[in-house]
Amino acid sequence: MKLKNIIFSSSLFLFSLFILTNCSNNSSSAKAGQKAAATTKPADSAKADATAAVDTTVAPVSYPPLNKKLYDSLMKKLAHGDTTGKWPVKNQPYPLPGAILPFKRVVAYYGNLYSKKMGILGELPPNEMLQHLHAAVKEWEKADPATPVQPALHYIAVVASGDPGKDHMYRHRMPFKQIDTILYLAKKAHAIVFLDIQVSLSNIRAEMPLLEKYWKMPNVHCGIDPEFSMKDGTLPGKKIGTFDAADVNYVSAYLSKIVDENHLPPKIFIVHRFTKKMLTNYKQIKLHKETQILINMDGWGEPDLKTGTYRNFIYPEPVQFTGFKLFYKNDLKKAPHHMLTPTEVLKYKPYPIYIQYQ
């Protein structure tokens, strides 16, 4: 299968456009980052920043016991008639009460507020973006009326960059003020939040704990991007990176501990993928009742190419749940210049339970 269109997926084609200097989680460096990114910052994101001071806390919720019979039924439904025994995944633990999957399908808008080029989340003014997200939710509700839809904002909180930064790790950590803005916007939209990590020359063990105050929030979930995990020291953008099962297990164990200690509902944990080598030793990935692991088909291209990627790299290596990414612009670049519709995506086996728009 040809991969030349899909090989540079979610952010590589934007890589050279997104350069943030000295952007970290303190107020002085946040100002520096905002100045450096002035040319790509949405026109009204300053207004959004101002609203971030509004309380974004989420009140504790008491969840009813898990309906195991319903859970089993919905997992079987997600398998979409698969007869190979791969789906649903066998011997997986039941999640804690309050689990989102498979009871709801998550529909997420992806991007970064500093750049109009990294996805729909940052491309449009915030209120307009939320209106578009609401419309996308309605499309999925219409395509699959039996599955409620949970809106989400998927924010790139650690961004691979062409600029080395002070520590020469070629990644920039977004200021907490920007993350708080996303929490504020999510609250307006009754959405959950995903914080996505592109480690570049750093590593996941160094980055995860720095966001711990957000992981302790019941409405904040996690994504990691192997595309920008450059274990051999190659600069991001030169080739596709990789994560191993050991990296995935670290994150899921870390999140599980946070969930357990803070009496939270399960965290959805997303791993992006569009090549085989992006995720190695998948059979060694450990499942926990505190986390729900989802492998997200993250490549762009024409419909046949995306279909092949899902069939070759997602379907045959089952972990727990699957997702599918749609690109408003890049999926249209080649004939037939068509982005898959919800009805078309629902033809895949297994059914994707997480849908991401960039």
Does the predicted TM-score (pTM) go above 0.85? yes
**pLDDT attached to residue 61:** 74
Q: Give the residue with greater pLDDT, 42 vs 221.
A: 221
327 forms beta bridges with: none
CA distances from 343 to 6, 277, 311, 326, 351 (A): 22, 30, 17, 13, 11
Peptide bond into 350 cis (omega under 30): yes
Average pLDDT of the chain is: 87
Question: Cα(243)–Cα(246) distance, rounded to whole angstroms?
Answer: 8
Between CA 260 and CA 212 the distance in angstroms is 14
Given a contact cutoff of 8 angstroms between Cβ atoms, the answer to whether 260 and 290 are in contact is yes
pLDDT tens-digit series, residues 275-284: 999 999 999 9
Give the whole-angstrom CA distance, residue 143 versus residue 164. 44
Confidence (pLDDT) at 223: 98
Residues 6+ apart with CB under 8 A from 38: none
- For position 57, what pLDDT does the model report? 59
Tell me: pLDDT of 166 over 60.
yes
Specify the DSSP class assigned to residue 93.
P
Could you please report the per-residue DSSP string of 188-248?
HHT-EEEEEE--BTS-HHHHGGGGHHHHTSTTEEEEE-GGGB-TT-PPTTSS---EEHHHH
Q: How confident is the model at residue 168 (pLDDT cuts 50, 70, 90)?
A: very high
Q: What is the largest CA-CA distance in the chain?
A: 57
Question: What pLDDT is attached to residue 62?
Answer: 85
Tens-place pLDDT, residues 134-151 = 999 999 999 999 999 999
- Beta-bridge partner residues of 172: 159
Rg of the chain over Cα atoms, rounded to whole angstroms, equals 19
Which of the four pLDDT bands, split at 50, 70 and 90, describes residue 60? Answer: low
Neighbours of 257 (CB within 10 A): 13
The CA-to-CA distance between both ends of the chain, in Å, stands at 24
pLDDT tens sequence across 285-332: 999 999 999 999 999 999 999 999 999 999 999 999 999 999 999 999
Handedness of CA 250, 254, 260, 264 (dihedral sign): negative
Token pair for 44: 């009204």
pLDDT in tens, 228-262: 999 999 999 999 999 999 999 999 999 999 999 99
Q: Select the CATH number that applies to the domain covering 12-54+67-357 from these four: 3.40.50, 3.90.190, 3.20.20, 3.30.460.
A: 3.20.20
Whether the CA torsion 209, 210, 214, 216 is positive or negative: it is positive
